Amino acid sequence: EAGVAQSPRYKIIEKRQSVAFWCNPISGHATLYWYQQILGQGPKLLIQFQNNGVVDDSQLPKDRFSAERLKGVDSTLKIQPAKLEDSAVYLCASLLDNAYNEQFFGPGTRLTVL
């Protein structure tokens, strides 16, 4: 079974530029999450999708971050414009069945904002 795919793996941009990350969850997983992991901290949820609908985006900085999952499969997270404090690893995770609550994580995208 293929795991959660993310691209790119690494990205370096300058502040005020835009960037987009892509995630393809495990086939059949209805729930998709984006987490932000700042160096030295645990991951923090940014947004949760159930199919193509948003379940929780309370921690998403909506003035600069946006995310979509138009067809209920893969997802894109965008930052526009980026700030220095956005430097982090962005992790995507997917979940098959809430009864087991096991989220499967992708390798992450490491973003450096200069």
Nearer to other proteins, 2 or 100 (CB): 100
Binding residues (CB under 8 A) for other proteins: these are 4, 31, 33, 35, 40-45, 48, 55-56, 91, 93, 95, 98, 100-108, 110
Instruction: Return d(Cα 13, Cα 70) in angstroms, integer.
Output: 26
Closest approach of other proteins to the CB of residue 41, in Å: 6
Q: Looking at beta carbons only, is 18 or 27 nearer to other proteins?
A: 27
Nearer to other proteins, 20 or 96 (CB): 96
Measure the CA–CA gap between 75 and 47, rounded to whole angstroms: 11
C-alpha dihedral over 90, 50, 57, 91, to 10 degrees?
A: -10
Residue 81 beta carbon to other proteins: minimum distance, rounded to whole angstroms:
27
Min dist. Cβ of residue 105 to other proteins (A)? 4
Is residue 29 exposed (0-12), middle (13-18) or buried (19+ Cβ within 10 Å)?
middle
Scan for tokens 């390798």, then name that residue.
107
Nearer to other proteins, 35 or 65 (CB): 35
Residue 85's SS3 state is: helix
Residue 50 CB, nearest approach to other proteins (Å): 9
